[in-house]
Amino acid sequence: MTTQTAAPQRLNGFEVQAMTQTLDALTQDRTLARFEFRAANEWLGGGMNRSTIQGFFGAGAEDTSRTLPFNYTSGEPPVLLGKNESANPGEFLLHALAGCVTTTTVLFAAARGITIRSMTSEVVGDIDLQGLFALDPAVPPGYRQIRMKLDIKADCSDAELDDLIEFVHSHSPVCDTIRRPVPVVFERLKKK
* Phi, psi (deg, nearest 5) at residue 56: -155, 160
Inter-residue long-range contacts of 23-29, CB under 8 Å, 24+ positions, other chains counted: 23/111, 25/59, 29/60
Q: Which of residues 69-98 bind a copy of itself (CB under 8 A)?
A: 70, 72, 74, 76-81, 84, 86-98
Q: Which of residues 106-145 bind a copy of itself (CB under 8 A)?
A: 106-107, 116, 118-136, 140-145
Complex with a copy of itself: residue 2 or 181, whichever CB lies closer: 181
Q: C-beta of 79: minimal distance to a copy of itself in Å?
A: 5
1 binds a copy of itself (CB under 8 A): no
**H or E, element range at 48:** strand 48-53
- Tell me which residue of 146, 61, 141 sits closest to 96, measured CA to CA: 146
The only residue of 7, 8, 9, 36 in contact with a copy of itself, by rule CB under 8 A: 36
- Tell me which residue of 46, 113, 30, 111 sits closest to 78, measured CA to CA: 46
99 binds a copy of itself (CB under 8 A): yes
- Tell me which residue of 152, 142, 39, 52 sits closest to 93, measured CA to CA: 142
Complex with a copy of itself: residue 4 or 122, whichever CB lies closer: 122
Q: C-beta of 7: minimal distance to a copy of itself in Å?
A: 17
Q: How many residues bind a copy of itself (CB under 8 A)?
A: 128
9 binds a copy of itself (CB under 8 A): no
Q: Which of residues 149-188 bind a copy of itself (CB under 8 A)?
A: 149-154, 158, 161-162, 165, 167, 169-188
62 binds a copy of itself (CB under 8 A): no
4 binds a copy of itself (CB under 8 A): no
- Tell me which residue of 178, 188, 149 sits closest to 165, measured CA to CA: 149
150: DSSP letter: E
37 binds a copy of itself (CB under 8 A): yes
Complex with a copy of itself: residue 2 or 80, whichever CB lies closer: 80
Is 76 in contact with 92 (CB distance < 8 Å)? no
* C-alpha to C-alpha distance for 75 and 144, rounded to whole angstroms: 22
